[in-house]
Structure 1
């Protein structure tokens, strides 16, 4: 099991080399966790990584303890939510919007919406990361998701692009993971319309359940998911660490 990955997409946006720790919740004992962290940190430092981050389940007392003892600081909290029985979803009455396939001509619009309209993320909520860097990360993330051939849909009202959704769908088990979705700034009135269309689309495709991860601080979007009967599965705490004692503000 590899317990880390380099994250060049974040390196590009933040301007310093980054990495993510993986699967810490699968380590059973305090000693295992210490040994893995010591090993991985040596490897990352050799690769000139400056900034590392991870998420653990909120119930993982051992990891919370060891991470803080190793110099990691608490930066953000997120929750995983899921909606089952998508095939039984009955659409709500919402303002009408068009929900269309992505085209290359929409790329800049999606990148600008992601940069300007999304205010919560593992980096937005880290006081050591500038807002500009966090927004730049979302802007560049769209490129990566398009290149990964994810399922991208665009929400339009007339000729105006008002939002989008990007998901990963596994038709082997009829499950979807909603990676990123939202409306443009000033178009929040269509938020429920967008999620209504997301669910209609997944129902049409034969999807049985949809899951996603959202910031615990984003009360507005949590209420949207609650409105559409998504249930909380788990809470995660995000811990970050700077290997070099320097400001990244």
Structure 2
């Protein structure tokens, strides 16, 4: 029998149950989720017929758009005093990661408690630190935030709560994108943003990014989570 479920051990360690992502959304693939205990992620195009998904217990959690930008279309916004470093306090970065991403799809999943969703981001950033894919933003002699990247993809951009609401988001994002263009050598960068975060989406669009498609994300829990674990 064809296997439609790909294990996601990076999520299992956070939710303490088996976790999977589906390789397709055929009837056979959906049926496998009913025969397997665990938590499942499925990404489908916005045009997909979702009736069968709902029948098999899947529920909508988010939409992910893909903004892309070519180097020659990038609009730089300069802010004096922003610098980057790979020499930083690990716990400072992890503390930012633990509270800066409250709107993600796992926070919007009613089956997953917030502390598990927070832990997922913290553990993901910890992995990225180990892989040297994090740069800390320095501003006013403090760690003001960080950004994470992989090849031509901007993975995460987090700002310390003390620096939010000060009109710095556009300049911080611009500095991160410019730095990634510089260190990666790619002529085009891309990222992934939920429409539920219009402020971030608008910042990237204002810097020259353009939307390049989207996917809808569905989750399913077959069984239960060990809440309190």
Supply the distance in 2 between the matched residues of 1:236 and 1:122 (Cα, whole angstroms).
13
In the alignment, is the contact (CA less than 8 A) between 2:33 and 2:40 conserved in 1? no
TM-score (ref. length: structure 2): 0.87
In the alignment, is the contact (CA less than 8 A) between 1:72 and 1:241 conserved in 2? yes
In the alignment, is the contact (CA less than 8 A) between 1:155 and 1:164 conserved in 2? yes
From 71, 84, 94, give the equivalent of 1:99. 84
From 81, 91, 109, give the equivalent of 1:126. 109
* Greater helix proportion: 1
CA separation of 1:90 and 1:72: change in aligned 2, threshold 3 A:
closer
Unaligned runs of 5+ in 2: none
Supply the distance in 2 between the matched residues of 1:137 and 1:90 (Cα, whole angstroms).
33
In the alignment, is the contact (CA less than 8 A) between 1:9 and 1:144 conserved in 2? no
Q: Which residue of 2 aligns with 1:4?
A: 5
Q: How does 1:1-249 map to 2 (within 5 A)?
A: 3-22=4-23, 24=24, 33-39=26-32, 42=35, 45=36, 49-61=37-49, 64-84=50-70, 86-87=71-72, 89-100=74-85, 102-103=86-87, 105-147=88-130, 149=131, 151-169=133-151, 176-188=152-164, 189=166, 190-205=168-183, 206-244=185-223
Supply the distance in 2 between the matched residues of 1:220 and 1:95 (Cα, whole angstroms).
22
Supply the distance in 2 between the matched residues of 1:131 and 1:235 (Cα, whole angstroms).
25
Supply the distance in 1 between the matched residues of 2:176 and 2:72 (Cα, whole angstroms).
13
In the alignment, is the contact (CA less than 8 A) between 1:96 and 1:193 conserved in 2? no
In the alignment, is the contact (CA less than 8 A) between 2:22 and 2:29 conserved in 1? no
TM-score (ref. length: structure 1): 0.80
Identify the range of structure 1 (126-135 vs 9-18) with the bigger mean alpha-carbon deviation: 9-18
CA separation of 1:99 and 1:242: change in aligned 2, threshold 3 A:
same
Supply the distance in 1 between the matched residues of 2:4 and 2:80 (Cα, whole angstroms).
45
Supply the distance in 1 between the matched residues of 2:3 and 2:146 (Cα, whole angstroms).
33
In the alignment, is the contact (CA less than 8 A) between 2:77 and 2:175 conserved in 1? no
Aligned length: 224
CA shift, 1:127, in A, is 2.0
Supply the distance in 2 between the matched residues of 1:37 and 1:80 (Cα, whole angstroms).
26
